[in-house]
Chains A and B, each alone.
Chain A
Amino acid sequence: MALLEIQNVTRRFGDFTAVDNVSIGIDAGEFFTLLGPSGCGKTTLLRMIAGFDLPDGGRVVLNGEDLANRPPEQRPVRTVFQSYALFPHMTVEGNVAFPLRMAKTPAAEIPARIAAALEDVRLQGLGKRYPHELSGGQKQRVAIGRALVTHPTVLLLDEPLAALDAKLREEMQLELINLQKEVGITFVYVTHDQTEALALSHRIAVMNKGRVEQLDEPSRIYGFPRTRFVADFIGQCNLFSGPVTPGGDGIVTLTVPPLGEVRVATASKLPPGRSGTLALRPEKIRIQTAAPGDTRDNHFPGTVADMLYLGDVTVYKVATPGGMRVEALLANSQSGSARFFEVGDAVELSWAIDAGHFIEE
């Protein structure tokens, strides 16, 4: 039995089904992420865990207890809001003390608890400041410290880093990971940022249109997306779709109209004629002047149509004769032998038959 059980939860707003029969089990001490585009139902689900919203169907069970009859203030669950929602008329200490006062913590204990919480989020010495005197990152820490000070069973984080700039966001990601390890509290994290989800989480539930498309570890979500949506949403991905022709040795051939025949190593036993998709990450594609011809690899000619120099890597968009655009990534760390291309160069794309991931449709 998991610590937090979301059992067949459904939530409708009029005709719109925001959360559609979702079941998730979240274990104690886990850093769990709900990932998806806006409108996918992740925030609605979070609000139902916090108690601000109630499911139309299904149950939210914490520690074996159905939370249906507990209003938010009586759930051992705390939320870190996207807007921080710090009380502007209270100092940092006042904000952190607020949940302690609400919980009728003995006054004598409060200073020590505040100090410990501020130390957890590395805000020692800022206790007397007001929220408007803090930077975005510091406000974020106050919000987290305030939510953790009463040692909740579950901490919910609603896109907590969305308002921070890129550099600070990365710093806070590392801190969140460390903090979660330190306090050992279960984190349920909501984000639309897939890199953030991959970096932070033990497990991720990728949501789309109110449903969970895939629930897995980050590396499996990235490496083995189960659906087209997941492949497309998580990172950059080339999707080649077409009818399959099974071959021997666990290899199927996809007939992709604008590209040609693509061979894929897969355990899939799709009958001939059914459609499948190869999800192929750009970094798995080699881009060269001429592909070595003696292997079983797939290889296709093309012309560099666009390129994006990103510093550490260069992204090439290669147009094939059939009119398909394939994205390939070349690490700029390769030195000497690696050849770099310009727009208009004729190139050869190639990848191993087991480089991608086959999705049945």
Chain B
Amino acid sequence: MNIKPQALSAASAARLGRWLVSGPPLLYLLLFFAIPSLIMVLASFRSPGEFGGLAPLWEDGKLDLNLDSYARFFSEPIYAQIFLKSVWYALFTTLFCLVLAYPLAALIAQSPRRYRDLLLLLVILPFWSNFLIRIYAWMIILGPNAAVAKTVNGVLAWFGHEPVPLLFSSFAVLICLVYVHLPFMVLPLYANLEKHDQALLDAAQDLGANAWQRFWRITFPLSLPGVYAGAALVFIPALGIFAIPDILGGPGDSLIGNIIKQQFLETRDWPFGSVLSIVLTVAALALAGLAAWVGRRNLGTPSSAGDARA
């Protein structure tokens, strides 16, 4: 080993540079992500305070840490049920977004290059107005005096059916969940499909594959990295959402996000709210990990997966 002093100092300068570049974001994440998460984990083992918040950690000379809130989550089935319902809503949202986004992303990817940016702009256009305002807009669209409700109920009346309220229902929640998350599915899918090589489809056709077989055997498997990315981007936020059920849902449409919000703001049971948050985070991480694992297993080809990745 014969390292020259200059080389050594160059190496340490490079190391210093790396720290200068990565230091601030690391510090930020530590302060505003890691430490709050740890506080939440700690809070989940503490007792609720008499008037909300947390009971003192150190009382009567002993440490007040317990599993009471966890026990409550597992002993009262209502929470598991709401949690499961949230998973179903998120799964439905993901699936519906996929079904709607795939043809749209494919259409954009296949359209002439000069129109693509415009079409993508249209996809992300809703982001230009506030999230809550867009949800309130659905109140108007689905309201009892709007054209949609009148048409639907008119058709139902024709079949002799009672009119149904569209607003404040699971239907309203689901339709808005899909609406809000659709761009998050379109963008990664587009980024993937846009890179597909037309020669592969030509080859498949040349080798005897019809249009459906070309899609199912070539396009779809190669788009899986985009599908997984889009699914994660839709599923995880949809799982924790509370604004949409709050505004558009009926009394039975509370999801896990609403319960967490309730625990912190209304019931003021911080430990239990923390437990619910932790369960939500762990479930989301587990599902994302599972999806990544399945994805890696299905795509034994790093090159194709790499090429096709967004």
Using a CB–CB cutoff of 8 Å, the interface residues on chain A facing chain B are 50, 52, 71-74, 77-79, 81, 83, 85-89, 98-99, 102-103, 130-132, 146-147, 150
Find out whether the CB atom of B304 lies under 8 angstroms from the CB atom of A150. no
Residues of B that sit less than 8 Å from A by CB:
197, 199-200, 202-210, 213, 217-218, 221-222, 299-304, 307
- Contact status A81-B203, CB under 8 Å: yes
Q: Which residue of A lies closest to B214 (CB)?
A: A73
15 further contact pairs, Cβ within 8 A, besides A50-B206, A87-B218: A52-B205, A72-B202, A73-B205, A73-B208, A73-B209, A73-B210, A77-B206, A79-B202, A81-B203, A83-B199, A89-B301, A102-B207, A102-B209, A130-B303, A132-B304
A89-B304 contact in complex given A81-B199, A81-B202, A102-B213, C-beta closer than 8 Å: yes
Q: Which residues of A contact B299 (CB under 8 A)?
A: 89
Of B203, B209, B213, B303, the most chain A CB neighbours within 10 A belong to: B203
Complex alpha-carbon distance, A52 and B197, angstroms: 16
Chain A residue with the shortest CB-CB distance to B210: A73
Q: Report yes or no: B200 in contact with A87, Cβ–Cβ below 8 A.
A: yes
- The residues of B that contact A99 with a CB separation of less than 8 Å are 207-208
- Give Cα A99 to B222, complex, Å: 18
Across-interface contacts of B302 in A (CB, < 8 A): 132
Question: How far does the alpha carbon of A83 sit from the alpha carbon of B218 in the complex, in Å?
Answer: 16
Among A71, A78, A88, the residue within 8 A (CB) of B222 is A88
Q: Please, how many angstroms separate the alpha-carbon atoms of A86 and B302 in the complex?
A: 15
A163 to chain B, nearest CB (A): 13
Question: Which residue of A has the minimal Cβ distance to B207?
Answer: A99
Which residues of chain A have C-beta atoms less than 8 A from B218's C-beta?
87
| Contact flag A102-B208 (CB < 8 Å), given A79-B203, A87-B200, A88-B222 | yes
Q: List the 9 closest A-B pairs by CB distance, nearest first.
A: A88-B304, A102-B208, A132-B303, A85-B203, A99-B207, A85-B199, A79-B206, A72-B205, A130-B301
For A94, the closest partner residue in chain B by CB is: B217
Q: Please tell me if the beta carbons of B207 and A78 are within 8 angstroms of each other in the complex.
A: yes
Q: How far is the CA of A147 from the CA of B207 in the complex (A)?
A: 7
**CA A190 to CA B77, docked complex, whole Å:** 71
Residues of the A chain whose Cβ atoms lie less than 8 Å from the Cβ of B203? 79, 81, 85-87
